[in-house]
A and B are shown apart, each in its own frame.
Chain A
Amino acid sequence: MIDVNVSLFRWPTRRLPDDDTKLLVRRLRANGITQAWAGSFEGLLHNDLTGVNDRLAAECIEQGEEILVPFGTINPMLPDWEGDLLRCTDHHRMPGIRLHPDFHRYSLDSEAIQRVFALASEKQLIVQLALRMEDVRTSSSVFSLAEVDTAPLAKTVEKFPQLQLVVLNWSRDLRGPAFGDLAQLKNVCFDIATLESAGGVGKLIQEVPYQQVLLGSHAPFFYHVAAMLKLRESELGEFITTAIAGGNAARLLAGN
């Protein structure tokens, strides 16, 4: 199984039970995960993202027991973010990057994100777009994060047919036409970390082809087993469960 949504290091406002990489890897293995795409909590607030991504890459090698795959954080509002992206690809050989438009404060139709999408397409990188990391009702008032307006996302993505986009932690922000329009695009996938409602995965695949749905846990911020249990809560059948639990992500990575 492939978990496309984990993060390493410390959450800024709380210690988490698995914020030590060894413990996280142990948990992932215990729950049957054979590969996990890892971003970095440090990438939310740090400006030296070069250092953040260097540490992420090193940690995945040193502590990842060959299951952690690093996805470097890119903040297009920083000077020479392109240098960070090129370091992710050319030096660390990362298959993808992760974006945080809420923490880094840019819109989904901005020039900034379009430049990232263009360069990522050229470099054949998977782009993970984390729409949020925490319920805004419970987030620290220190952050005062803006909710990301998802309405323009589909039109932005349409301009980049070679882009491979994975939307993470999206279910509170991406609804109605904004979701429907995006789900029509075959180069966009969705994880299930923040998906709620009883039988949520089953309902999701009525709205988007199962080939575009990926197992993502948002561990260690969330209890890892939550995502695993969601696969059981819906009557998906073995074939679709297998695809969501890893087959779709493996195909995405292979095509990259």
Chain B
Amino acid sequence: MIWDLHCHFTGLEGRTPDERMANLIEYADRMGVDKVTIFMGIRHSLDPTPEVFRRENDEVMQALSHWHDRAFGFAYVNPNYPDESVAEMDRMIADGPMVGIKLWVACRCSDPKLDAIVTHAAKLKAVIFQHTWYKTRGNLPGESTPEDLVVLAKRFPEITFICGHSGGNWELGIRAIRRHPNIMLGTGGFDPTAGMMEMAVRELGADRIIYGSDAGGRSFASQLAKVQGADIDNAAKKMILGRNYQRLLQPILNDKVQK
């Protein structure tokens, strides 16, 4: 069972979300990926106004409409607009099919502006995915590092967060989060550098790692290789490729079934 935490419309052929989603599923099928998670629109906006993130989320909703059996959606929100973000989470998650939120680079996640958003996400049992990088030549002004995420996670120790991209520079990212058990590691969206998964399992344990690809900009192949090519046992691979994500999603999926 392979569930992919992290996909986009970018890097795929097709004029519309529907066409791009169909292409994404075709590649997922070829690589044995059972479910994908999609967030953000065809064009990404670094610091989207509410109008823009609503439009991007509408595109994801459209794509999901034909693929409920194969795809999850996360709502893209912006901490610079906390009230509108909370309202969007109600529209997309409480009253819609989405199961998580995506936080990108509009605002560093250590900022208290995130508090209302993560509190509401927890109330909805939504998964919280935060993009993080340590870039050798410097991050974007609003781009979070794993250490920013640690600041946030310390304020909300009962809430689980996902450290997207493993911080890019994963040797630093894994170190940053290892003593904070409410942070899980997202493995997508950086080169398939060997040794990454072995270090992650050693420092975090397999139960804190979730496979994601960042396809279509990234290749499913290169990102699956981090798990399938790693010198870790098969039980760990199964957890990372799907079971951990399934466990994280279970509360919100149960709620949606009951509704």
Q: Which residues of A contact B (CB under 8 A)?
A: 14-18, 134-141, 194-200, 219-226, 229-230, 232-235
Q: Chain B nearest CB: distance from A33 CB in Å? A: 14
Contact status of A222 and B136, CB under 8 A, knowing A196-B218, A233-B221: no
Q: Which 7 A-B pairs have the closest CB atoms?
A: A223-B229, A229-B221, A226-B225, A225-B229, A198-B216, A197-B11, A198-B27
Does B203 sit at the interface, judged by CB under 8 A? no
Does B194 sit at the interface, judged by CB under 8 A? yes
Nearest-CB residue, chain B, relative to A200: B219
Does B190 sit at the interface, judged by CB under 8 A? yes
Q: Chain A nearest CB: distance from B234 CB in Å? A: 15
Nearest-CB residue, chain A, relative to B133: A137
- In the complex, the answer to whether B136 meets A199 with C-beta atoms within 8 Å is no
Docked pose: A138 CA to B30 CA in angstroms: 30
Docked pose: A18 CA to B135 CA in angstroms: 26
- In the complex, the answer to whether B222 meets A229 with C-beta atoms within 8 Å is yes
Docked pose: A1 CA to B258 CA in angstroms: 52
Nearest-CB residue, chain A, relative to B7: A198
- Per-residue interface assignment for chain B, residues 167 to 182, with 1 indicating a CB less than 8 Å from any chain A CB and 0 otherwise: 0111100000000000
> Which of B12, B27, B192 is in CB contact (< 8 Å) with A223?
B192
Instruction: Give the chain B neighbours of A229 by CB distance below 8 A.
Output: 31, 219-222, 224-225, 228
- In the complex, the answer to whether B27 meets A233 with C-beta atoms within 8 Å is yes
Instruction: Give the chain B neighbours of A224 by CB distance below 8 A.
Output: 194, 225, 229
Nearest-CB residue, chain B, relative to A225: B229
Nearest-CB residue, chain B, relative to A23: B231
Q: Chain A nearest CB: distance from B194 CB in Å? A: 5
Instruction: Give the chain B neighbours of A15 by CB distance below 8 A.
Output: 195
- In the complex, the answer to whether B220 meets A136 with C-beta atoms within 8 Å is no
Does B230 sit at the interface, judged by CB under 8 A? yes
- In the complex, the answer to whether A233 meets B194 with C-beta atoms within 8 Å is no
Q: Chain A nearest CB: distance from B60 CB in Å? A: 17
- Per-residue interface assignment for chain B, residues 159 to 203, with 1 indicating a CB less than 8 Å from any chain A CB and 0 otherwise: 000000000111100000000000000000011111100100000
Docked pose: A56 CA to B109 CA in angstroms: 47
- In the complex, the answer to whether A225 meets B231 with C-beta atoms within 8 Å is no
Show 28 A/B contacts (Cβ-Cβ < 8 Å), sorted by A. Answer: A17-B194, A17-B195, A17-B230, A18-B194, A134-B193, A136-B137, A138-B169, A139-B136, A140-B136, A195-B219, A196-B11, A196-B217, A197-B217, A197-B219, A219-B194, A221-B193, A221-B194, A222-B194, A223-B194, A223-B226, A223-B230, A226-B222, A226-B225, A229-B31, A229-B225, A229-B228, A232-B31, A233-B219
- In the complex, the answer to whether B220 meets A222 with C-beta atoms within 8 Å is no
Q: Chain A nearest CB: distance from B11 CB in Å? A: 4
A17-B194, A222-B191 given; 9 more Cβ-contact pairs under 8 Å = A17-B231, A137-B168, A138-B193, A196-B222, A198-B23, A223-B192, A223-B194, A226-B192, A229-B219
Instruction: Give the chain B neighbours of A139 by CB distance below 8 A.
Output: 136
Does B24 sit at the interface, judged by CB under 8 A? yes
Residue among B168, B170, B194, B219 with the most chain A CB within 10 A? Answer: B194
Nearest-CB residue, chain B, relative to A203: B13
Q: Chain A nearest CB: distance from B37 CB in Å? A: 14
Docked pose: A197 CA to B222 CA in angstroms: 9
> Which of A16, A138, A219 is in CB contact (< 8 Å) with B168?
A138
Q: Which of B124-171 contact A (CB under 8 A)?
A: 133-137, 168-171
Q: Chain B nearest CB: distance from A161 CB in Å? A: 34
Docked pose: A136 CA to B134 CA in angstroms: 11
Instruction: Give the chain A neighbours of B11 by CB distance below 8 A.
Output: 196-198
Docked pose: A225 CA to B228 CA in angstroms: 8
Docked pose: A235 CA to B192 CA in angstroms: 22
Nearest-CB residue, chain B, relative to A233: B221
- In the complex, the answer to whether A233 meets B31 with C-beta atoms within 8 Å is yes
Docked pose: A245 CA to B215 CA in angstroms: 23
Docked pose: A223 CA to B226 CA in angstroms: 7
- In the complex, the answer to whether B169 meets A137 with C-beta atoms within 8 Å is yes
Docked pose: A135 CA to B229 CA in angstroms: 20
Instruction: Give the chain A neighbours of B24 by CB distance below 8 A.
Output: 198
Docked pose: A16 CA to B30 CA in angstroms: 29
Docked pose: A223 CA to B229 CA in angstroms: 6
- In the complex, the answer to whether A233 meets B220 with C-beta atoms within 8 Å is yes
Docked pose: A227 CA to B30 CA in angstroms: 15
Contact status of A138 and B191, CB under 8 A, knowing A229-B224, A230-B221, A232-B221: yes
Docked pose: A89 CA to B216 CA in angstroms: 43
Instruction: Give the chain A neighbours of B229 by CB distance below 8 A.
Output: 223-226
Nearest-CB residue, chain A, relative to B230: A223
Contact status of A220 and B191, CB under 8 A, knowing A137-B133, A196-B217: no
